[in-house]
Amino acid sequence: MTIKSVTDVVIQEAAALLRSGECVAIPTETVYGLAADACNGEAVAKIYDIKGRPSFNPLISHFDSLSMLQDYADLNDTALALAAAFWPGPMTLIVKRSENCKISEIVTAELDTIAVRVPSHKTAQKIIRAANTPLAAPSANASGEVSPTAATHVQDSLGSKVKLIVADGSAKIGLESTVIDVTGAEAIILRPGSITAEDCADVLGYSVTIDLGDTDTPKSPGQLLKHYAPSTPVRLKSYDLKEGESLLAFGSTKFMPVSKLPDTHILNLSETGDLYEAASNLFGYLRKLDKLNATAIAVMDIPNQGVGIAINDRLKRAAEK
Residues lying near Mg ion in the complex (CB under 5 A)? 139
- Strands annotated E in the chain: 3-5, 24-26, 33-37, 60-62, 73-74, 91-97, 113-117, 135-136, 164-167, 178-181, 188-191, 209-210, 234-235, 246-249, 266-268, 297-299
Question: What residue number has its CB nearest to ligand TXA?
Answer: 222
The Cα–Cα gap between 262 and 268 comes to 14
Which residues make up the interface to ligand TXA (CB under 6 A)? 28, 30-31, 33, 57-60, 92, 94, 108, 111, 113-115, 117, 137-139, 176-177, 179, 190-191, 219-222
Does residue 129 contact residue 119 with C-beta atoms inside 8 Å?
Answer: no
268 binds, among Mg ion, ligand TXA, none (CB under 5 to 8 A by kind): none
278-298 residues labelled b (16+ CB within 10 A) or e (exposed): bbbbbbbbbbebbeeebebbb
Q: Write the CA distances from 269 to 114, 254, 296, 311, integer angstroms.
A: 34, 15, 17, 11
Q: Least distance in Å: CB of 143 to Mg ion? A: 8
Nearer to ligand TXA, 177 or 232 (CB): 177
Amino acid at 214: D
Q: Which is nearer to Mg ion, 61 or 139 (CB)?
A: 139
Query: Of 151 and 294, which has the nearer Cβ to ligand TXA?
Result: 151
Selection from 11, 23, 10 nearest residue 162 by Cα: 23
CB closer to Mg ion out of 52 and 257: 52
Comparing every residue's Cβ against Mg ion, the nearest one is 139
List the beta bridge partners of residue 91. Answer: 178
| Binds 57: which of ligand TXA, Mg ion, none (CB < 5-8 Å by kind) | ligand TXA
Give just the sign of the alpha carbon dihedral 186, 187, 189, 195. Answer: negative
Residue pair 246/261 in contact (Cβ under 8 Å)? The answer is: yes
Nearer to ligand TXA, 191 or 287 (CB): 191
Residues in the chain, overall count:
321
Residue 92 binds which of Mg ion, ligand TXA, none (CB < 5-8 A, kind-dependent): ligand TXA
Amino acid at 228: Y
Find which of Mg ion, ligand TXA, none residue 31 binds, CB within 5 to 8 Å per kind: ligand TXA
Q: Closest approach of Cβ 21 to ligand TXA, in Å?
A: 19
The residue among 260, 223, 264 whose CA lies nearest residue 244 is 260
Q: How far is the CB of 157 from ligand TXA (least distance, A)?
A: 13
177 binds, among Mg ion, ligand TXA, none (CB under 5 to 8 A by kind): ligand TXA
Question: Which lies closer to ligand TXA via its Cβ, residue 141 or residue 232?
Answer: 141
Binding partner of 114, given Mg ion, ligand TXA, none, CB within 5-8 angstroms per partner class = ligand TXA
Question: Measured from the CB of residue 277, what is the shortest distance to ligand TXA in angstroms?
Answer: 18
- Closest approach of Cβ 173 to ligand TXA, in Å? 8
Taking the least distance from each CB to Mg ion, the nearer of 139 and 220 is 139
Buried/exposed 77-90: b ≥16 CB within 10 Å, e otherwise: ebbebbbeebbbbb
